[in-house]
Structure 1
Amino acid sequence: MRSDAEEEFAEFVRARQHALVRFGYLLTGDRMAAEDLTQTALARLYLKWDTIRQAGAMEAWVRRVMVNEHTSWWRRAWRRRETVDFDATHLADRTASTDPGPVSPDDSLWQHVLRLPPRQRAAVALRYYEDLSEAQTAEVLGCSIGTVKSQTHRALATLRSRLAEVPA
């Protein structure tokens, strides 16, 4: 990669990394997984940097990679069985200084969102947490606007029924 292109890439990462990690957190519900997902997507972007010309297309491309990669991770049976047994208290200072945003892990609605299938969760995260339009969401997800509407509709219907079951 040319040195000026490397500087452009570094500037993009500096400008968008926090928002991308936040989006990764919305997809995964886990800070470390969000950082891994973001890192994977940015590594793929680095390899494609010279071929993606439009600045707006870069972020959409990275978000699409994040959604697809998260879906792949979620589908792998070994990811569901994998457990980590270590004391993460030494990471408290690091994660406190890079809070992903206004989503609270204790928020009861958020807990229900995390239980949605990956594509529905991605549609909800993009539409309502990231405030993207249906067209922008469709571009990120690599699907039609109708699919975004149906995925969002199903997700909201599921959330409504689950929240109706919760005692007040």
Structure 2
Amino acid sequence: MSQTAQTLSTDATAQIAEALNQCVAETAVATMLAQNFHWNVTGMAFGPLHDLFQKIYEDHFVAQDDLAERIKALGAHAEGTLAGMVKRSKISEVDGVPSAEDMVRLMKDAQETLAETIAGAGELAAGQGDTLTEDLCIARGQTHEKFAWMLRAHLA
């Protein structure tokens, strides 16, 4: 039976909100990673990579808000500190300036991690009957898989 934010159990809400906070954290770190790479990419592929990294961070900035607003709609707390997000995230920041190829590889890995994390949150939501969160996660997961595919194409 489908549930809404108001009809989910307290336990289900807590589990879903925790999974979504993981998604927000990883999205936030990936946003900054993409912006860092956008600012610092150099080389023969500068133009297309500069544009792709911008497309990624602009998408992710909106996604952070969508995910956090779903957490709030569920009546839970959305993690709002950078330190908390960095600590929680399975995606790491990058020190220094990697080569353009390494940037692409690191961003591909980040997109694959995001797709996996968000798919897990969607599966959890589906198991609790929260089709609205599941739908959000499906759409986000598809976006991250598309970005991962685009980045893999640069490495081929």
TM-score interval, normalised by the smaller of the two chains: 0.3 to 0.5
Larger Rg: 1
TM-score when normalising by structure 2: 0.36
User: With CA pairs under 8 Å and 6+ residues apart, which has the higher RCO, 1 or 2?
Assistant: 2
TM-score when normalising by structure 1: 0.34
